[in-house]
Amino acid sequence: MWELLQHLSFWDWLALGTLLLIFEIFGAGGYLLWVGIAAATVGVLTFMIPGLHWTLQFVLFGVLSILTAWLWWKRQRSAARPSDQPGLNERGHDLLGRTFVVHVAIVAGRGKIKVGDSVWMATGPDTEVGAQVRVIGQDGSTLQVERIE
């Protein structure tokens, strides 16, 4: 075992880095990415500095693994701030207060309305096709409407 450790080459580190990155592809969730990059970096350093002692190689691997994982964690935490556009993916909120035409009659509280070039599910009082309705709310992808008299 000591013989193997004393003769670590850059190929060993590059192989370890490649193996860790392959395992990452199979769904490790990002945990092995940074350890694999650290192993590959130690491989490059070992190539550039051929006489690097094996203990220093392992210390570098550990430090680089922790450093890269910490930097990524720090970046992810700084990126997780509230959006300046809170309604960005809630298209129905843009429709509140607007009027549309009933496309499929609202019967027993359910029907469809025509919104631009699309059709949305709607809930509200029974209303015949062609009548005007106003959007008063949203529940998921279903719009809540009221009849306009």
Taking only the tens place, the pLDDT of each residue in 91-131 is: 777 889 999 999 999 999 999 999 989 999 999 999 999 99
Neighbouring C-beta atoms of residue 24, cutoff 10 Å:
18
Q: Which helix (H) or strand (E) holds 143?
A: strand 142-147
How are beta strands 110-115 and 99-107 bridged, if at all?
antiparallel
Q: What is the pLDDT of residue 11?
A: 87
Query: Is 20 within 8 Å of 39 (Cβ atoms)?
Result: yes
User: Residue 146 phi/psi, 5° resolution?
Assistant: -130, 150
pLDDT along the chain (149 residues), means of 10: 71 89 83 89 91 89 92 81 68 86 95 93 94 92 91
Neighbouring C-beta atoms of residue 87, cutoff 10 Å:
10
Q: Provide the H-helix boundaries in 1-149.
A: 2-6, 10-25, 31-48, 54-79
Domain annotation for the chain: domains and CATH numbers: 2-79 (no CATH), 91-147 (2.40.50.140)
Q: What is the pLDDT of residue 67?
A: 94
Query: Is 71 within 8 Å of 63 (Cβ atoms)?
Result: no
Give the predicted TM-score (pTM) of the model.
0.51
Cα 49 from Cα 10, distance rounded (Å): 10
Q: Provide the H-helix boundaries in 82-136.
A: none
Cα 86 from Cα 76, distance rounded (Å): 19
